[in-house]
Amino acid sequence: MDFYIFARETVRTFITPFYRIEVIGHDNIPESGPVIICSNHIDNLDPPVVGISVKRPVHFMAKEELFKVPILGKIISKTHAFPVKRGMSDRDALRKALKVLKDGNVLGLFPEGTRSKDGKLGKGLAGAGFFALRSEATVIPCAVIGPYKMFGKLKVVFGEPISMEKLREEKASPEFVTDQIMNGIGQLIEKYK
């Protein structure tokens, strides 16, 4: 058995007794080809919760510090996560993310770059727009709707793909594209909260 599948099922076993997770819109995620899933970020558990909600393996970009934590660093490396240096242009992380997409895989991003302190959707960083423009990936907005309360209900909502064709033709800026993606996430939060 692939380690990713083993880890995903192990995480599912540990998380689902404590949170009732409802997944909405899973059919919006293509079964093959490159995909970028862009989600809001309200809790440290967002990556595993989004990961267990997707049938395909998700390659998450994660802050570099996590890879220095004993045991955790090795586990997340084996589950396709890769490090990014926050607060600067990290060329290695950019190349790695583009390769994930070029190889037809799923890239998981939290465009805000950090957890929201108040649970409200913040401004997205240009990286999400950059990857959307520089690849042929299908861009899927995702909303994690909490709060994370023990035995409470969580929703993971995958929206319809955000069309990139016109934005690519018009040579839209990464910042503008990220704003469109964040608007998509915001609409999901409003609709399903």
Tens digit of pLDDT for each residue in 43-69? 999 999 999 999 999 999 988 888 999
- Averaged pLDDT for residues 122-142: 96
Handedness of CA 10, 11, 12, 15 (dihedral sign): positive
pLDDT category of residue 1 using cuts at 50, 70 and 90: low
* SS3 state at 190: helix
- Averaged pLDDT for residues 84-112: 91
Tell me which residue of 41, 45, 54, 38 sits closest to 5, measured CA to CA: 54
Q: Which residues touch 61 (CB under 8 Å, ≥6 apart)?
A: 81, 82, 83, 84, 93, 97, 107, 108, 109
CA gap 44, 115 in Å, rounded = 7
Instruction: Report the CATH number that the domain containing residue 52 is assigned in CATH.
Output: 3.40.1130.10
Host domain of residue 28: 3-192
pLDDT, the chain, mean: 93
Confidence (pLDDT) at 127: 93
Confidence (pLDDT) at 87: 65
> pTM for the full model?
0.93
Quote the percentage of the chain above a pLDDT of 70. Answer: 98
CA gap 49, 16 in Å, rounded = 9
Top pLDDT among 72 and 32 is at: 32
At 143-170, the pLDDT tens digits run 999 999 999 999 999 999 999 999 999 9
Q: Which residues touch 41 (CB under 8 Å, ≥6 apart)?
A: 110, 112, 114, 115, 116, 144
162 forms beta bridges with 139
Asked whether the predicted pLDDT for residue 88 surpasses 80, the reply is: no
The token pair that represents 102 in the structure block: 């070029």
Long-range CB pairs of 88-91, under 8 A, 24+ apart, other chains included: none
Confidence (pLDDT) at 109: 97
At 29-42, the pLDDT tens digits run 999 999 999 999 99
Asked whether the predicted pLDDT for residue 82 surpasses 80, the reply is: yes
Structural element, H or E, at residue 63? strand 58-63
State the total domains in the chain.
1
Q: 10 with 108: CB under 8 angstroms? A: no
CA gap 106, 102 in Å, rounded = 10
